Amino acid sequence: MVTVSVPATSANIGSGFDSCGLALSLRNTAAFEEFDGVDITSADGSAVPSTPGNLVYRTAKEVYALCGQRLRGLRIVQTNPIPMARGLGSSSACIAAGILGANALLGGPLTAEDMLTFATKLEGHPDNVAPALLGGFVVSAYDGGKVYSLKKTIAPGIVFMAFVPDFKLLTERARAALPKTVSHADAVYNLSRAALLATAFCEERYDFLPVATRDSLHQQYRLPLIEGGEAVFALADGLGALATFISGAGPTILSVVRTAEANVFFERAQKALASDAELAHFTLRRFTADNEGAKLLENA
């Protein structure tokens, strides 16, 4: 039996479309045991597919095939506090868990680099799977079938406030909202800010985040899909957030707040959500950074 733990993630961080992401202090766990058949259950009452179509199981099976091993079957017990289809990396957490769990069952034939590259191949881009596996703030490029990722541990000076709505937004729909082409000006706009974003995190110059997280490639097209989204941006800005952006493909909206100001921000934001009908379908959750990434809890 092996048990793995994988953090939630927030991708894009505004300007870092498909390349930047960070890990948050909310974790899924999955326990794996080789078994003659497929037995998938939930330990926390969350709805998880119990068939071979389950993403954790499918991913583990892919790892066995990659390593040239036949999979008889698996018993998997999942705990899934990361909400599904909310822009907090639930799919990437499943992929990371399947890879890490299967690799442990097989005795660890895959290196950390192998696992990251394979996770990116399955996910399609590295902005969620890289921080899920590595933790911290991660910038990645996928080139020639290989992932190049650099991680920066996030210092405790900031926290993350997640405005989580009570509806889902599938990534496929959020992707479909994007234009097929963008202007040269928009590309340069994001390029400069994504570079500034990475440097701001590396230098811990969080005062640069208001500019560094601005985007012209995806948020303006996705925000109309999030009911009350513009009001959340206005609320967070009015309460002094350093930066606010759509988390992943949405619909969660994430604000970066200085730790010293977090309690006041949280209390005032909670009151605003409770008193404004336009915002009533949002729940506010407070996270710190997760700097560990995916990890093996047990191997017995």
**CA–CA dist 212, 198 (Å, integer):** 8
The alpha carbon of residue 276 and the mean position of all alpha carbons in its chain are separated, in whole angstroms, by 28
- pLDDT at position 144, please? 87
- As a whole number of angstroms, the distance between CA 7 and CA 92 comes to 9
Distance CA(113)–CA(111), nearest Å, equals: 5
pLDDT tens digits, one per residue of 222-244: 999 999 999 999 999 999 999 99
Q: What are the tens digits of pLDDT across the range 108-133? A: 999 999 999 999 999 988 999 999 99
- For residue 20, the cross-strand partners are 139
Cβ contact 217:175 at 8 Å: no
For residue 47, the model assigns a pLDDT of 85
In which residue ranges of the chain is CATH 3.30.70.890 found? Answer: 158-287
Alpha helices in the chain (DSSP H): 55-66, 90-105, 112-123, 129-134, 171-176, 184-202, 209-212, 219-222, 229-238, 262-275
* 159 pLDDT higher than 80: yes
Tell me the sheet residues that pair with 29: 5, 79
Whether the pLDDT of residue 300 is over 70: the answer is no
Angle between helices 90-105 and 55-66 (to 10 degrees): 40
At 93, the pLDDT band (50, 70, 90 cuts) reads: very high
Place of tokens 């002094």: 240
The helix-helix angle for 112-123 and 90-105 (nearest 10°) equals: 140
How far is CA 187 from each of CA 13, 17, 190, 214, 217, rounded to the nearest angstrom?
A: 16, 11, 5, 12, 7
Q: 279 with 273: CB under 8 angstroms? A: yes
Reported as type and span, the H/E element at residue 164 is strand 158-165
> What confidence category does residue 172 fall into, taking pLDDT thresholds of 50, 70 and 90?
confident
DSSP 275: H
Q: How confident is the model at residue 299 (pLDDT cuts 50, 70, 90)?
A: low
Domain 2-153+290-299 in CATH 3.90.870.30? The answer is: no
Instruction: Tell me the per-residue pLDDT of 26-39, one tens digit each, with 9 for 90 and over.
Output: 999 999 999 999 99
Mapped onto helix, strand or coil, the DSSP state of residue 172 is helix
Token pair recorded at residue 245 = 């952006």
Strands 74-79 and 38-42: parallel
In the chain, CATH 3.30.230.10 covers 2-153+290-299
What pTM was estimated for this model as a whole? 0.93
The mean per-residue pLDDT over the stretch 258-262 comes to 97
Residues facing residue 76 across a β-bridge = 32, 40
Query: What is the third-level CATH fold of 158-287?
Result: Alpha-Beta Plaits (3.30.70)
